[in-house]
């Protein structure tokens, strides 16, 4: 799986948009970009994933650059409960029995009142 | 919304004792996983399981670890003879078939070995 690079930490004001960047310059054509988060040692929580197109769901938006070498997770209106470690993971589509996710250190997002 | 459930949420055990961590994956999922996270460290892959056999295991998953799907709903992780360094949060996860599908994690079982 391609390696990802994320900032160690970021701060965001409550109510503002949080934009979390991720670099994945070695991503291959059939690899997806997944975002998970982990709130205080709870289980990793799926947020969103995408292949080429931008994606949006009820939690967040994912913007993938045209060359697919980087992406940004956007939390449109951050709340205190969004304080967590956010993981950007690049992985092949999960069709095979050896599919898994490999977690890095992620970005600690702190949402401040 | 369907979720992965794990029991116990917290277990304290003496070094050398056997521990079984239990998981109920999401009902229509066919791929199952165990991950662990030592306090302050990354979430680490232990093992994946599909079609009643191990698909892949990491270097961490040595002979003292085993997994089993004893019936149609449970998925267990057994640690035969626990060591102090096995103290960690253990996460079970599951995934349906198909490409691009998402892995869903349980809330974890916190194991403390004393």
pLDDT tens readout for residues B26-50:
988 989 999 999 999 999 999 999 9
Token reading at B8? 């116990």
Residue B108 with chain A: CB contacts under 8 Å: 41-43
Distances (CA, A) of A22 to A7, A35, A70, A79: 8, 10, 6, 21
Is the pLDDT assigned to residue A1 strictly greater than 70?
no
User: pLDDT digits over A64-82, tens only?
Assistant: 999 999 999 999 999 999 9
On whether the CB atoms of residues A84 and A59 are closer than 8 A, the answer is: no
What pLDDT is attached to residue B73?
87
Contact A51 B100 (CB under 8 A): yes
Residues of chain B found within 8 Å of residue A41, distances taken between Cβ atoms: 37, 39, 89, 108
């Amino acid at each position: 799986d391609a390696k990802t690079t994320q900032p160690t930490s970021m701060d965001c004001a409550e109510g503002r948009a949080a934009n979390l960047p991720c670099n994945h310059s070695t991503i291959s054509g059939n690899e997806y970009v997944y975002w998970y988060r982990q709130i205080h040692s709870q289980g990793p929580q799926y947020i969103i994933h995408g292949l080429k197109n931008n994606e949006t769901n009820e939690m967040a938006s994912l913007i993938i650059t045209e060359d697919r070498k980087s992406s940004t997770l956007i939390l449109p209106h951050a709340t205190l409960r969004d304080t967590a470690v956010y993981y950007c993971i690049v992985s092949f589509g999960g069709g095979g029995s050896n599919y898994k996710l490999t977690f890095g250190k992620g970005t600690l997002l702190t949402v401040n009142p | 919304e369907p979720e992965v459930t794990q029991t116990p949420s917290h277990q304290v055990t003496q070094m050398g004792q056997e521990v079984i961590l239990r998981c109920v994956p999401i009902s229509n999922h066919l791929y199952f996983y165990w991950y662990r996270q030592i306090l302050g460290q990354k979430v680490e892959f232990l093992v994946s399981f599909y079609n009643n056999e191990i698909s892949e295991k990491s270097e961490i998953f040595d002979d003292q670890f085993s997994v089993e799907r004893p019936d149609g709903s449970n998925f267990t992780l057994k640690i035969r003879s626990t060591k102090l360094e096995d103290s960690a949060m253990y996460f079970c996860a599951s995934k349906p078939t198909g490409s691009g599908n998402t892995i869903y994690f349980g809330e974890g079982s916190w194991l403390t070995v004393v």
